[in-house]
Each structure stands twice: as C-alpha cells, then as structure tokens.
Amino acid sequence: MARTAQGRDLAARKARALRGTTAGLASGSAAGASAGRGGQQGDRRPSTSGGGASAGDRPRGADPRPSGQRPASRPPRRGAPRRVRLTAQRIDPWSVLKISFLVSVALGIAGVVMVAVLWTVLSGMNVFATINEFLGQVTSGETGGPSINLEDYLGFTRVTALAAVLGILNVFLLTALATLTAFLYNICAALVGGAQLTLSDD
C-alpha cells in the first residue's frame, strides 16, 4: 500500500510539472505573437496623398519624373551671327620693328636664292650664249669686230653679290619704313581715332 501511495504521489508531481511547462510555453508564444503584431503595426507609415514616398524621403539628385520618361531636349538656338566692333588705337613700334626686321631679312634671303636659281636656269638653257651671238652679229657687221660677252657683265658671282647688297639695303629700308609708319599711325589715332574693325562669328 505504501508503495502504491508513493507511486501515485510521483505521478501527480509529474502531471503538475508537465502542466506548468505547457502553460509557460503557451504564455510565451502568446506574448511573442502580440509583440510581433505590435511591431508590424508600428512599422507601417501613413501613406501620402499620392500613395508614394514623400518629397523629403527622396534622395538628392533623384529625378521626380517616372523612370520611363526622359527630359525633353531643348533645340539649340541659332540666331544672327554676333558682330563685335573694335578700334585699333595704338600699335607698338617696338613690336613692329622686330617683325619688320625679320620679314625683310627673310625677303632678302629669298631674293638672293631666287636670283641664283634664275641665273642657273637661264645659263642651262643657253640664253646668254644666244644673246652673245645676236649682239656680235649686230655690232660686228660684215667686216667683223670685237665680240661682246654678256657673262663678263652678268656673271654668277656678280649677280648674286648685287642681289645680296640689294637685300641688305631692303632690310634697313623696310624696317625703318615700317617703324615710322607705326609712329605716324599712333599720332593720327591719338588725334582722330584709330581704324575701326568689325568682327563676326560665322
């Protein structure tokens, strides 16, 4: 009998423990479910009148238009060409002096080279020999006389030397003339105004 009573007490204790465990699990699951519902309701934000995100929630630089629409490109404006009216009031004489000197030197060298090439071409075509024969026939006549050699007066060395001397003279003359022209232009521009230019961007 004692063993039977002890077995009953042990079974009753196990039943109570099982009931307490089941009740704790049920209360915990209910609390978790209520907390989940409260979190979902708290995460819900009030919708705007348009049903989308508000203007403050948009990131900076985002296009408010739908993604399928592109901004309309403006056609380029083509008006009348612009015109600018300028007046040259002063020319620097020093810059004119340098530029005119270089240009005159280049022209002098080009002149010497041109004369040398021209003399070589004419000599290769026997132009001087033909002229010498013609002058000899004109001056000698039938009796014969001293023949004239054109190359004694127009030789290669003499012609190139003469071209070089003329080129050097032109360097000084052109440089001085251009600088004097710049001074005169500045004086006239100070009195009556400079030359007016109209520039246009076609």
In a domain, residue 35? The reply is: no
Task: Answer with the residue of higher pLDDT: 96 or 20.
Answer: 96
136 neighbors 147 (Cβ within 8 angstroms): yes
Q: What is the pLDDT of residue 53?
A: 44
In a domain, residue 77? The reply is: no
Residues in the chain: 202
Domain count, the chain: 1
In a domain, residue 118? The reply is: yes
In a domain, residue 201? The reply is: no
In a domain, residue 66? The reply is: no
Residue 182 clears pLDDT 70, i.e. is over it: yes
Q: Residue 92 is encoded by which pair of tokens?
A: 């620097």
Residues of the domain holding 170: 93-192
| Each residue's pLDDT tens digit, 93-113 | 999 999 999 999 999 999 999
Q: Where are the beta strands (DSSP E) in 137-202?
A: 195-200
Q: Minimal CA–CA distance to 132: which of 113, 110, 117, 152?
A: 152
CA 113 to chain centre: 40
